[in-house]
Amino acid sequence: MLSNLDNEVVFKKAFTDKIVFQCFVKDVLGLTIQVSKIETEKRFFPKIGNIDFELDIYAETVDKRICIELQKVQYDYTHDRFLHYFLMLIAGQQLSSREYAIGQTVHQILVLTLPYTLKDLNGRQLTDEMLVTTFTTRNAAKVERLLYRHSFVTLNPNHRDPNTPQSVKDWLDLIYESMHNPQAPSINLQNTGIQRAAELIEIHQFTPKQLAAKKSVEQARSAKIVGEEYARWEERVRTAKKFYANGVSIEIIAASLEKSIPEIQEMIDLTAEHYRKPFW
């Protein structure tokens, strides 16, 4: 049985393994690399830019020509936040005011475990399995000139795209199946990296300390979900009361909030001191 890769303890256990990390990078970026070490909760001193940011998983190749950052996100997010991380890794290579050379190629891979709530600049909802951001330089004739190889890749196993390379799909299948079908996952065990990752996240491969950390993450997430549900409920109570005070009928309020008439009546009858009572 696989452990859930949506849990940061499980995710880091799998992807801080050098074999898994290098196979993943090969399949996603097409790069054959050898990393010296893989760091977690990577921070930079002195700070880069105005935000003191922390990277989930960070590695550099042994020749220090390439640095790769891997982030897992399980919540709604602002794409700009991770774009900032990406750009700061590039900007941080300026060693002095006289030296602007970018000695390292920076690659960032962002793994999302929830469907997008992100829209593009035209207002279209994103439903892409894979997004790749790069720097493109063109001359006046629109001929591309290769100046930089930096890339920012976003992966989301909740969306399917027939154009996504199979090598990438295999990893997204591993992530998705660990979340939704852990007892009988349909994954490509012919891939060395995926086979090793699957072995590492088998439930019996975790020490008591790792299991405790894993459980702590799950409890924190549950508490967050309950808190968010309560906030939504409280907002509906306020809305129902406001509509009712302004003469809107209970039937219309119920239809607007997609609740039954008895539920709306109960919300309207609540007094302020009852708002904080457990609703679950």
List the domain range (segments joined by +) for residue 243: 221-274
Note the pLDDT tens digit of each residue in 99-148: 667 788 999 999 988 888 788 889 888 889 999 999 999 999 999 999 88
Does the pTM surpass 0.85? The reply is no
Report the percentage of the chain scoring pLDDT > 70: 82
Structure tokens at 171: 């990893």
The answer to whether residue 202 sits within a structural domain is yes
Flag whether pLDDT at 228 surpasses 60: no
Q: Are residues 69 and 17 in the same domain?
A: yes
Residue 207's φ and ψ, nearest 5 degrees, are: -75, 165
Helices (H), the chain: 8-15, 18-29, 79-91, 166-180, 192-200, 208-245, 250-257, 261-269
The answer to whether residue 1 sits within a structural domain is no
Report the number of distinct structural domains present in the chain.
2
Q: Which helix (H) or strand (E) holds 60?
A: strand 55-61
Q: Are residues 185 and 116 in the same domain?
A: yes
Note the pLDDT tens digit of each residue in 237-266: 888 888 888 888 888 888 888 888 888 888
CA distances from 104 to 53, 94, 133 (A): 19, 11, 17
Q: Are residues 197 and 266 in the same domain?
A: no
CA pair distance 17, 175, nearest whole angstrom:
16
Q: Residue 67: its pLDDT value, please?
A: 80
Asked if 77 contacts 112 with a C-beta cutoff of 8 angstroms, the reply is: yes
The answer to whether residue 27 sits within a structural domain is yes
Calculate mean pLDDT across residues 81-92.
Answer: 84
pLDDT band for 65, please (50, 70, 90 cuts).
confident
154: which residues sit within 8 A by CB, 6+ positions away?
79, 110, 112, 128, 130, 131, 132, 133
Q: Which of 153, 177, 206 is the last residue of a domain?
A: 206
Flag whether pLDDT at 23 surpasses 90: yes
The answer to whether residue 98 sits within a structural domain is yes
Helix (H, G, I), strand (E, B) or coil at 192: helix
Calculate mean pLDDT across residues 35-52.
Answer: 77
CA pair distance 242, 33, nearest whole angstrom:
60
The answer to whether residue 213 sits within a structural domain is no
CA pair distance 17, 83, nearest whole angstrom:
25
The answer to whether residue 159 sits within a structural domain is yes
Note the pLDDT tens digit of each residue in 163-205: 999 999 999 999 999 989 999 999 999 999 999 999 998 888 7
pLDDT band for 93, please (50, 70, 90 cuts).
confident
Q: Are residues 49 and 138 in the same domain?
A: yes
The answer to whether residue 240 sits within a structural domain is yes
Q: Please, what sign has the CA dihedral across residues 21, 30, 85, 105?
A: positive
Q: Which of 175, 206, 237 is the last residue of a domain?
A: 206
The answer to whether residue 41 sits within a structural domain is yes
Q: Which of 183, 206, 229 is the last residue of a domain?
A: 206
Structure tokens at 112: 């999302």
Q: Please, what sign has the CA dihedral across residues 19, 22, 27, 33?
A: negative
Q: Residue 280: its pLDDT value, please?
A: 40
Q: Are residues 134 and 172 in the same domain?
A: yes
- Across the chain, mean pLDDT equals 83
